[in-house]
Amino acid sequence: MSAIQLWLVEPLADEVARVVRRIADEPDVRAVAVLPDVHLAGDVCVGMAIATERRIFPAAVGGDIGCGMTALAFDCAADVVDGRTAPRLLEAIAAHVPTARHRRVIAPPLPEALDPSQLSDERLRAAARDEARLELGTIGGGNHFAELQRDVSDGRLWLLVHSGSRGLGPLIRDHHLARATPAARSGLAALDGEGDDGRAYLADHAWAIRWATANRDRIVDAVATALVEIVGARPLDETRFACVHNLVRREEHDGRALWVHRKGAMPAADGERGCVPGSMGSPSFHVEGRGVAAALASSAHGAGRALPRVAARRVISVAALERQMAGVFWDRRRAALLRDEAPAAYKDIGAVMRAQRDLVRIVRRLEPVLSWK
């Protein structure tokens, strides 16, 4: 069994521990890092970084390939978002940043870098011709969001956007899983990173990351336009930065070239910038990595779920969600749909940051002001 390194808020649940051990037992796996936001999510938990010698595991990246975050500061204090301006901002963001799809007549054209003809198979190309355009610049469901935040140190207004490859990532994952071979011990589907199938997955994976990056950029630009028009807040382009937390890439660790898979795990090389959000009602953090080798130079990508979605919807009422969101502007008409995104459904972000204090340096703490999801 390969080395397992743990950074935890609480002891691993039995089902999570079984997944971790099963993966670590694979002969080609060289190291496993389990991060404080770890929670069960299929064959590979969210909150894990896995290094292999040659094999690539699509499930260890997950379906939302390229999911990540983009942050941008503005030239004003966050108090420009108040009881008068917040409803107008929410209306404008909802109009230009749908959670699902754009209407076909207003869907944006695809940039040349996202031409679906670059995908490896005609079935993927056919699916992407519509979806890539209709979903570009949309948030999606789950824990994805566009959030206006206050820097607690100086009161400045920041924007943080969290989204990924939407419906396209799962299509790419499932297409390549169907061509993968079950690993000997775990049964986890694997591709040879140096074979034709592995290279095809990596090419499609790179396309999905480009699409996810363009998706976030379009959301950021739409929200920035709304801020300019409604409150006169102008973006400070030099502050813009991004990070990706669902990906696989070749990296050198302990003098070896390894495939490092991250699923809900943020690259955290020494000095590398990143964002670690809490929930829609709790703080977020801008960080810099410390490059800890034992963690495969990785960190948590967020608070991590404390309750599965079904359980959260069962035990968290609309009234409880509204209490937990006190002080944050949000679309209360969506309350019934957002109960599984309530702060109580997530781990304590403060505990997560304490558990990984040797993995990242905190640069900035931000409080939520307005949340759209």
Q: Residue 101: what pLDDT?
A: 80
Residue pLDDT, tens place only, 193-236: 999 999 999 999 999 999 999 999 999 999 999 999 999 999 99
SS3 312: helix
What mean pLDDT comes out for the span 255-283? 97
Contact 300, 266 (CB under 8 A): yes
Domain residue limits, the chain: 3-306+346-372
This model's pTM is above 0.75: yes
DSSP for 85-137 reads THHHHHHHHHHHS-SS---GGGPPPPPGGG-GGGSSSHHHHHHHHHHHHHSTT
Which residue in 204, 203, 68, 202 sits closest to 132, CA to CA?
A: 204
List Cβ neighbours of 17 (8 Å cut-off, separation of 6 or more).
none
Which residue in 165, 157, 97 sits closest to 373, CA to CA?
A: 97
301 belongs to the catalytic site: yes
Residue pLDDT, tens place only, 44-87: 999 999 999 999 999 999 999 999 999 999 999 999 999 999 99
One-letter amino acid for residue 66 of the chain: G
- Residue 1: is its pLDDT beyond 70? no
Per CATH, the number for 3-306+346-372 is 3.90.1860.10
CA dihedral 355, 359, 361, 364 (to 10 degrees): -60
Residue 361 has which token pair?
Answer: 């340096």
SS3 335: helix
Mean pLDDT across the chain, nearest whole number? 95
Other CB atoms within a 10 A radius of the CB of residue 317 amount to 14
Contact 125, 35 (CB under 8 A): no
Q: Residue 144: what pLDDT?
A: 97
Which residue in 321, 63, 302, 324 sits closest to 160, CA to CA?
A: 302
Residue 162 backbone dihedrals phi, psi, to 5 degrees: -125, 115
Q: Return d(Cα 305, Cα 341) in angstroms, integer.
A: 9
Residue 186: band (very low, low, confident or very high) from pLDDT cuts 50, 70, 90: confident
**What is the helix (H) or strand (E) element at residue 352, kind and residue range?**
helix 349-355
Task: Please pick, among 144, 162, 205, 301, the residue that the annotation labels catalytic.
Answer: 301
Burial (CB count within 10 angstroms: exposed 0-12, middle 13-18, buried 19+), residue 103: exposed
In what side-by-side order are the strands of the sheet with 189-192? Answer: 55-56, 189-192, 181-182
Which residue in 15, 81, 20, 10 sits closest to 48, CA to CA?
A: 20
